[in-house]
């Protein structure tokens, strides 16, 4: 069976290129339309002088870049657009009946838009009903979290379920690719740290509340957790590292926490999705792990690595969490969400019947 | 008047070389003896192939390296020895009547050894009396804190005095020079972060308690503050950055905190020392400061820079603190302590009379 | 059919680990013995705290490290030993009948030891006859060139065949991994270039003469080319870049040179080896390529990239050549040589009959 | 006596900021006008958020940025404008009677515009007569070379005088600051080399011919040397390193070459200028020097460092040359030229009489 054709918007950017790289070998989806700004449109991405990733270049990079308002047939859209552009483009596409998996921040906190991590809150797709009632149309928008949020929430989820999270202080050391391309000037980064990322701390303090919330009666109730974030940019290509100090609502031993991570497989509905790693959380016991260079590609970039688990002198625990920011934190997250939508029957095929995965999950 | 001759032990190391660089232009002290391991001894440091700092090379680097047990005449000793060697060497020298300003961790937490930051706790030199009673001899040992501790405590001191510190969560992004030379392999550091520095978190959780404690009846009472530290190594040459989340004992507005830092001049006894910067704490309002590259050399490397002051969602405040780890955090700190000893009359000149500064402070 | 068991000596080093990584998916060879220094021996490599490469860790890293003098059964040995150790160990193994593919410099220039690049001089294995006559025994030693030599010679080979090389001036910008682990201190490399690599310039000036020489009457006649090399270390993880100025013996247009590279497939005998890339030389027309980050992994790290082809004001041409130093320049080169030995019938299986590839080349 | 007020155009750029930093402590010149693009004008540079250099910030950065066409009184202008803007602005100012010391490429190769390195060709200011005849006006334009050219020519000058240069092959490893700010994206530079700098190779192949040429009968005759350049960008903040292979017209021993460098003091007319270092060429015998980090600041950034002197297998010699690209290669070079103009009497003071240095050279 052939793969489902998909559109990738913002294809020339850092996340867009990761989308093409990941979709190049995806069992279900195949890029058929690459949308970009008018200035970039008109030639194949691979020949635009903007391809940024190492060899090998994916086949879909040979597709011609098209303007964002060009028509296309694909029922499923991945949006890696800048947030200021994403809002209206994504709304228009949803109104036209497309299913939009967005990496942009524009709609993340809207009450009727799911903010998803398939292993964490697959039930939040129920908000799509509310979305359709409010916005009309047969399309939909779902979003994935900010790149520094995903990994932190994946690590915190089993602890929240078992003990309840009360307070989290998180300091991040974030990779350059999170700023897109061209991103930061080399002159600012070499032999330096930038202790500021615009808007990032607010996202990291707020998005987990929605991700760890509950859907009741078709509406979302956010979790009640106090989070304080401090975000730094460091001279690392890929891989956001986060240092966490966590206070739980009920006491937990380090052994229990370690075991919860070891055993965490994520929500049932997510377990058979192609992008769900067998072990979404990898636990390190070596004192100097996880490290961005060594661990960002664990589970094809979709597994999160935790380590340095210790009791905190403030009560609770401290630990380090690492994830690949443009895979698990962006492109892979959007694809993961699309897999969940397909598995749950939200995507429509020809004739309006729910589309099915072209090949069985996990056997591709 | 001529400068006081001093010995520098561990002269070939990263901190030893900073000592020579700083002493090269110091108004009071002049290197006259360079002690090193037996393997290094026998030739001038500048010709040993181990000089690591950029041009210009200080005049004292032309001195011949001598073995650590070679005799010398200087009444004042700077020790930049590795901690495992420092303990016994420093004790022997103190027993011989030398005043030892040590950068090593060996004696820092001993109840009879002052752990000093001149602007913060110059009165802690009173412990020297206890030290002499316990250990005998006319010499003395004083220590400066660990390189990541100094800057954090300088920034916290005015807040502690005004509002009382209850809890501090600190995550550091520490520079390579903190690991000495050769330190970390480039293969480990390029495009990477190492979330671990052996022994560092314990030092950062403990040393501030002594530094912010009180001397009563000739003994030290440590401050009661809960501190949790997470320490990371990043690809920065010099300059440790620390992200702090702080809970105070009494409420404080951000304005009050900012004003306290602006107005902080340090303890009276420290104000006229050559190495005390006019403003020991520099406050930044730009959103992306302080940065290691831009701010580590503020005040000749002796001023600490703070910024990103915000209210924390956990209560209290969060901020970023930066200091030059091999100047304020090591070599400059040891020199600063020696200045304090001289100013307070602890150093003896010929005939046993208290030595005086060869030139008036601040007019050198 | 099962893969041929092989020994990997020097398994804990940078090249040793690349050997295991590449062999993990090799169709013909499978690591069965990991030799290391006595200090490292006794536990699995993956648990030794010395594994340096990113996820995923190859299965063979779970093998226990054994001392170099432990006995093993494998007929084929990959040596990634340091040169000072390699000489005698490799000779002993060859005397015992093993076929040794060495990455070390120890034997490279010996007249009876082939120095091989399969696409360039597969006929040089004829020197094995001389080797056996001189040294006795049924074993053999073959070597691959220094990491900066391989890529330069691959790019020069078609030009030498077509026009004759007269003079080559080469300046290299070499990656950190070429110095092994721990290699250079980060303090030396950050914000710096080291314009010196011990012994490297001599290797780069000499090895190409043997590689481009001819075997006549069982003996090697070196090529007559004048080469001048200047070698620098830069802050790049993998990928040596070389800037070449080349004078040819007969005139050649840039078009001809470009076409020769495009059409270069290497010696016939090498074309079907698993590690021979379909196009051993990739030609770039973009003005800013090749670049280490983007191009080092071309052809799985076995293809060499050339670009910036221009006429030189000195006569002749100038260009830039890039190759992956620990793959094409070391581990992959040694494996490539073993493939050639197997294909040419130099390896003996059980009963002394020539071993055959367990699966057809290129269909593995 | 007070310093001569000068204008700095392009003050917000990398070179403009270096100009202010160097002029902050200059004995003769004092910034009085900072010209910048209209967008930047209107606030002090130090408050524009564009100050890029570490502490301390020079006093003149507190001057308000003015538009380029705002009037000013200073007789001397430093132009650090981008080349596309520099041409017409500099011509207008010269026509108005200003003396313009330009760092831009716009006029460098014009026959009537001196291209100067004071130690190398101070007599080339004679072209100003030709310039005034052709262009009219009492002003003048002089230029300094491209940042990679200066250091190479300083090192080659004594060899050219003594033996004659026939051919030079040069490969550069150039620092990030040479590309200005923002310059290259960090994503392009981390773990990478860019083997291309637009226009750079042509400048390096051509400018030395003018610099080493002769003025006869008021006109310049370029030197006849064949130069081939290959230019690379590396992850270094400041300091261009160049690897040279040189063929001389008459034979020279390495000892003779080393002695020429050691003894080189530059042209007589330049020796007393404030920016002329006592030894313009520093010779290193250590095998791994010069290095950008250690040697770029030699002589306050105005001395050039050479090392790795060897005989080349191609005949002639090879060596490595290093210089600070934004000091000796740009801002310091422009100031140096202004010093020469003042010393030679080309600058006019009030009433049109030749201006004189406000303080004796070398005693400032």
Give the range among C273-287, C342-356, D127-141 with minimum mean pLDDT: C342-356
> Is D268 found in the same domain as D127?
no
Confidence at A363, pLDDT banded by 50, 70, 90 = very low
Q: Is residue A63 part of a domain?
A: yes
Q: Are B18 and B331 in contact (CB under 8 A)?
A: yes
Which residue in D206, D267, D200 sits closest to D231, CA to CA? D200
User: What is the dihedral sign for C-alpha D190, D196, D199, D200?
Assistant: positive
Q: Same domain for B106 and B138? A: yes
Q: How many CB atoms lie within 10 A of CB B129?
A: 12
* Closest alpha carbon to B27 in B6, B4, B60, B8: B4
Q: Is B81 helix (H, G, I), strand (E, B) or coil?
A: coil
CB contact (8 A) between residue A186 and residue D52: no
A147 is catalytic: yes
Query: Which phi and psi (to 5°) does residue A80 adopt?
Result: -115, 35
Distance CA D150, CA D148 (A): 6
Average pLDDT, chain A: 95
pLDDT of A214 > 60? The answer is yes
Asked, for residue C364, whether it belongs to a domain, the answer is no
Residues B249 and B305 in one domain: yes
- Tell how strand C140-143 and strand C4-9 pair up: unpaired
Q: What is the CATH number of the domain that holds A248?
A: 3.30.360.10
Q: Residue C138: its pLDDT value, please?
A: 85
Instruction: Provide the edge-to-edge strand list for the sheet that holds C65-67.
Output: C65-67, C29-36, C4-9, C76-79, C99-102, C140-143
Residue whose C-alpha is closest to residue C193's, from A55, D238, B233 = D238
Residue the block writes with tokens 């589970």: A299
Sign of the dihedral defined by the CA atoms of residues B50, B55, B58, B59, in that order: positive
Tokens standing for residue C307: 């670009």
Are residues C191 and B235, on separate chains, in Cβ contact within 8 Å? Answer: no
- Report whether D135 contacts D323 (CB < 8 A): no
Q: State the count of interchain CB pairs (< 8 A) between A and B.
A: 118
Residues of D in contact with A189 (CB under 8 A): 186, 190
Of B234, B245, B318, which is closest to A193 when you measure between CB atoms? Answer: B234
**How many other C-beta atoms lie within 10 A of the C-beta of residue A301?**
24
Could B191 and C237 be called an inter-chain contact, meaning their C-beta atoms sit closer than 8 Å? yes
> Would you say the C-alpha torsion B323, B327, B328, B330 has a positive or negative sign?
positive
Give the model's confidence band at C363: pLDDT under 50 very low, under 70 low, under 90 confident, else very high: very low
Hey, is the C-beta of A295 within 8 angstroms of any chain C C-beta? yes
Phi, psi of C95 (to 5 degrees): -65, -30
- Mean pLDDT of the residues in chain D: 95
Question: What is the DSSP pairing of strand D4-9 with strand D29-36?
Answer: parallel
Q: Is the same domain home to C270 and C283? A: yes
Residue identified by tokens 């063979």 is C60
User: What is the band of C364 on the pLDDT scale with cuts at 50, 70, 90?
Assistant: very low
Residue A106 — very low, low, confident or very high, per pLDDT cuts 50/70/90? very high
Q: Looking at this predicted complex, what is its ipTM?
A: 0.95
Contact at CB, A236 and B193, closer than 8 angstroms? yes
How confident is the model at residue A361, as a pLDDT?
53
- The answer to the question of residue A363 being in a domain is no
Contact C190 B52 (CB under 8 A): no
| pTM of this structure | 0.96
DSSP label at residue A154: H
Checking if the pLDDT of C362 tops 60, the result is no
> Strand pairing of A76-79 and A65-67?
unpaired
Catalytic residue among D26, D74, D101, D147: D147
Does D55 touch chain B if contact means CB atoms closer than 8 Å? Answer: yes
Q: Is residue B236 part of a domain?
A: yes
At C48, the pLDDT band (50, 70, 90 cuts) reads confident
Query: Which is nearest to D171 in space by CA: D204, D147, D146?
Result: D204
Which residues does chain A have within 8 Å of residue B236's beta carbon, measured at their own beta carbons? 191-193
Structure tokens at D286: 């250590």
Peptide bond before residue C114 is cis, with ω within 30 degrees of 0: no
Structure tokens at D199: 């226009």
Active-site residue identified among A160, A240, A284, A324:
A240
Helix (H, G, I), strand (E, B) or coil at D175: coil
Sign of the dihedral defined by the CA atoms of residues A267, A268, A274, A279, in that order: positive
B37 and B160 in a single domain? The answer is: no
Closest residue by Cα to residue D7 from D145, D139, D176: D139
- What residues of C are in contact with residue D191 (Cβ under 8 Å)? 235-237, 292-293
Residue C292 within a domain: yes
Contact B55 D297 (CB under 8 A): yes
C294, HSE (Cβ side, Cα atoms, 13 Å): 21
> Do B59 and B13 share a structural domain?
yes
Instruction: For the beta carbon of residue D139, count every other beta carbon within 10 angstroms.
Output: 23
A-interface mutation test, from D50, D187, D238, most A Cβ less than 10 A away: D187
CA gap A172, B347 in Å, rounded? 46
Q: Which of residues 192-221 of A touch B (CB under 8 A)?
A: 192-196, 198, 205
> Where do we find the tokens 């300046």?
C171
Q: What is the rounded (10 degree) CA torsion for A58, A64, A70, A72?
A: -50
Helix (H, G, I), strand (E, B) or coil at C145: coil
Same domain? D208 vs D337: no
**Chain C (252-291) residues lying within 8 Å, Cβ to Cβ, of chain D:** 287-291
Kindly list the partner chains of chain C, i.e. chains with 3 or more CB atom pairs below 8 Å. Answer: A, B, D
Provide the pLDDT for residue A354.
79
The tally of domains found in chain C comes to 2
CA-wise closest residue to A233 among A292, A295, A176, A151: A176
* Chunked mean pLDDT (size 10), chain B, 364 residues: 92 96 96 94 89 90 96 96 94 96 96 98 97 91 98 98 98 97 97 98 98 96 98 98 97 97 97 97 96 97 98 96 98 98 90 78 48
Mean pLDDT along residues C304-323:
97
Per residue in D32-58, pLDDT (tens digit) is 999 999 998 999 999 888 888 998 889
Q: Does position C52 have pLDDT exceeding 90, yes or no? A: no
- Phi, psi torsion values for A142, nearest 5 degrees: -125, 155
- What are residue D4's DSSP bridge partners? D29
Work out the angle at residue A183's Cα, subtended by the Cα atoms of residues A179 and A185, and round it to the nearest 5 degrees.
135
Instruction: Find chain B residues with C-beta within 8 A of D296's C-beta.
Output: 54
State the residue range of the domain holding A276. 147-324
The mean pLDDT value for C25-30 works out to 96
Q: How many other C-beta atoms are found inside a 10 Å radius of the C-beta of residue D353? A: 9
The first and second tokens of residue C288, run together, are: 């800013």
* Residues A157, D333: Cα–Cα separation, whole Å: 60
Whether C359 maps to a domain, the answer reads: no
Q: A37 with A10, same domain?
A: yes
Do A76 and A157 belong to one domain?
Answer: no
Query: Which phi and psi (to 5°) does residue A41 adopt?
Result: -65, 155
Residue C266 or A352, more confident: C266
Confidence band for C268, pLDDT divided at 50, 70 and 90: very high
One domain for residues A141 and A152 = no
Measure CA B280 to chain center: 13
- pLDDT of C209 above 80: yes
User: In terms of CA atoms, which chain B residue is nearest residue C175?
Assistant: B187
Both tokens assigned to A34: 């690459």
Query: What are the residue ranges in chain D where pLDDT is below 50?
Result: 363-364
Residue D187 CA to residue C293 CA, distance in Å, equals: 10
Query: Does D47 contact chain A (CB < 8 Å)?
Result: no
Distance from CA of C320 to the nearest CA of D (A): 8
Distance, first Cα to last Cα, chain D: 11
> What is the domain-level CATH number for residue D94?
3.40.50.720
> Least CB-CB distance to C52: which of B14, B181, B187?
B187
Per-residue pLDDT, D360: 62
Give the gap in angstroms from C-alpha C227 to the nearest C-alpha of chain D: 6
Report the alpha-carbon distance of residue C131 to residue C286 in Å, rounded: 46
Average pLDDT over residues A297-326: 97
Report the distance separating Cα A18 and Cα A24, nearest Å: 10
Instruction: With beta carbons less than 8 A apart as the criterion, state whether C101 and C335 touch.
Output: yes
DSSP string, D236-278: -SS-EEEEEEEEESS---HHHHHHHHHH----GGGTTSTTS-S
Report the catalytic residues of B: 147, 240
Interchain contact B363–D (C-beta under 8 A): no
Spatial CB neighbours of B293, under 8 Å, sequence gap ≥ 6: A191, A192, B236, B239, D54
B293 touches chain D (CB under 8 A): yes
Residue D361 lies in a domain: no
Q: Which two tokens stand for residue C225?
A: 């080319």
Distance (Å, whole) CA B129 – CA B126? 6
Which element (helix H / strand E) includes A207? helix A200-211
pLDDT more than 70, % of chain A: 98
- A230 CB within 8 Å of a chain B CB: yes
CB A74 within 8 A of CB A5: yes
In a domain? residue A364: no
- B105 plus B169 within the same structural domain: no
Residue B87: both structure tokens together: 């303990």
pLDDT one-digit tens code per residue, C119-149: 999 999 999 999 999 988 789 999 999 999 9
Contacts of C183 in chain B (CB under 8 A): 185-187
Beta-carbon separation of A187 and D237 below 8 A: yes
CA B296 vs CA B22, B144, B322, D177: distances in Å: 15, 19, 7, 20
Say whether both B109 and B213 belong to one domain.
no
- Owner of token pair 């897109």: A180
Q: State the smallest CA–CA distance between residue B243 and chain A in angstroms.
A: 7
B235 touches chain C (CB under 8 A): yes
């Amino acid at each position: 069976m052939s793969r489902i054709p998909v559109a990738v918007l913002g294809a020339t950017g850092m996340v867009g290129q990761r989308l093409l790289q990941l979709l190049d070998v995806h069992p279900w989806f195949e890029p058929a339309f690459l949308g970009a700004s008018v200035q970039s449109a008109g030639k194949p991405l691979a020949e635009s002088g903007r391809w940024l990733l190492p060899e090998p270049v994916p086949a879909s990079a040979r597709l011609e870049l098209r303007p964002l308002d060009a028509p296309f047939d694909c029922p499923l859209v991945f949006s890696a657009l800048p947030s200021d552009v994403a809002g209206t483009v994504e709304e228009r596409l949803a109104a036209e009946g497309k299913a939009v998996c967005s990496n942009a921040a524009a709609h993340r906190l809207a009450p009727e838009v799911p903010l998803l991590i398939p292993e964490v809150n697959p039930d939040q797709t129920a908000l799509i009903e509310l979305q359709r009632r409010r916005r009309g149309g047969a399309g939909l928008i779902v979003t994935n979290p900010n790149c520094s949020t995903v990994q932190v929430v994946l690590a915190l989820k089993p602890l929240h379920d078992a003990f309840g999270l009360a307070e989290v202080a998180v300091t991040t050391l974030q990779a350059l690719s999170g700023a897109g391309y061209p991103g930061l000037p080399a002159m600012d980064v070499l032999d330096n740290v930038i202790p500021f990322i615009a808007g990032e701390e607010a996202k990291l303090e707020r998005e987990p509340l929605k991700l760890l919330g509950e859907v009741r009666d078709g509406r979302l109730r956010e979790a009640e957790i106090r989070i304080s974030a401090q975000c730094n940019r460091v001279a690392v290509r890929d891989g956001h590292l986060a240092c966490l100090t966590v206070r739980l609502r009920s006491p937990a031993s380090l052994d229990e926490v370690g075991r919860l991570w070891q055993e965490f497989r994520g929500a049932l509905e997510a377990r058979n999705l192609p992008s769900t790693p067998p072990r979404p959380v990898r636990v390190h016991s070596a004192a100097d792990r996880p490290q961005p260079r060594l661990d960002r590609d664990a589970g094809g970039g979709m597994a999160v690595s935790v380590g340095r688990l210790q009791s905190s002198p403030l009560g609770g625990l401290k630990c380090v969490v690492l994830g690949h920011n443009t895979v698990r934190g962006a492109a892979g997250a959007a694809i993961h969400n699309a897999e969940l939508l397909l598995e749950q029957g939200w995507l429509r095929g020809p004739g309006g019947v729910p589309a099915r995965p072209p090949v069985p999950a996990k056997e591709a």
